[in-house]
Amino acid sequence: MGLGLSLSFLFVVALLHDFGPEVHLLLHYHAADRPELIKLVRAHGAQDLIFFLLLIGLLNAIPGASNSLVCILVGLCYGPAIGLAVNWLGNVGGNVACFGLIKHLSFSKHFQQNRILTNLMQHKHPLVGLTLGYMIPIVPSVLVNYACGQLKVSRLQFLLMVAIGMLPTSVLYAFGGDAIMHGDLKRLGVIGILIVGLVALRQVLGWKRHRSAN
């Protein structure tokens, strides 16, 4: 975890260095600067793309870390298509790395008794529950990966769940970033509603499980 945080910090520093002109423009922003800002942001190449990809993967694998802002920034910088690809690959790669590391780590009793983890482990349809766990932004990926290990899902099942589960938020963040770049408030509103819907889905599923248990 310490190594992951250190690497994440280095990637953030590198990106801040590369985005120096944009940061300076934002700090002294005027409406007339918008075309120049868009031109600068969309001019970044493969090196920063790789930095973003690795940073998304690292933040996904670190317990308690969030990569949502980075995913939105990727959509803002590279557009929805490339943004989606980078977000999805980074999130899938981060979960694969986390799943591999979990086997060599020990977890506290408090972690193992987490209510979300219990819901994942006791879901009526485990594979569906785990896939939904990857989809919902507020569910920590480390909990879903730990549940996958405890339930001994096959490698193929794990990869399919991660690939499907990480797609919705990767799409929403990439298109959200692009909508911010173009000032598309209507599209931002739709994306916001969809993200809230994903979060609400967890609450509904948790309520249904509690009701059936009683």
User: With 50 as the cut, is the pLDDT of residue 117 above it?
Assistant: yes
Burial (0-12, 13-18, 19+ Cβ within 10 Å), 121: middle
User: With 70 as the cut, is the pLDDT of residue 153 above it?
Assistant: yes
Asked if 2 contacts 61 with a C-beta cutoff of 8 angstroms, the reply is: no
Among 70, 49, 47, residue whose Cα is nearest residue 58: 70
Binned at pLDDT 50, 70 and 90, residue 214 comes out as very low
The three-point CA angle 203-206-212 to 5° equals 140
Among 181, 172, 175, 174, residue whose Cα is nearest residue 26: 181
Residues 6+ apart with CB under 8 A from 175: 75, 80, 83, 84, 187, 191
Binned at pLDDT 50, 70 and 90, residue 89 comes out as very high
pTM across the whole model = 0.83
User: With 70 as the cut, is the pLDDT of residue 82 above it?
Assistant: yes
pLDDT at 204: 62
What distance in Å separates the CA atoms of residue 66 and residue 79, rounded to the nearest whole number?
21
Binned at pLDDT 50, 70 and 90, residue 150 comes out as very high
Q: Is 24 helix (H, G, I), strand (E, B) or coil?
A: helix
What distance in Å separates the CA atoms of residue 19 and residue 65, rounded to the nearest whole number?
22
Distances (CA, A) of 195 to 35, 115, 119, 192: 29, 22, 21, 5
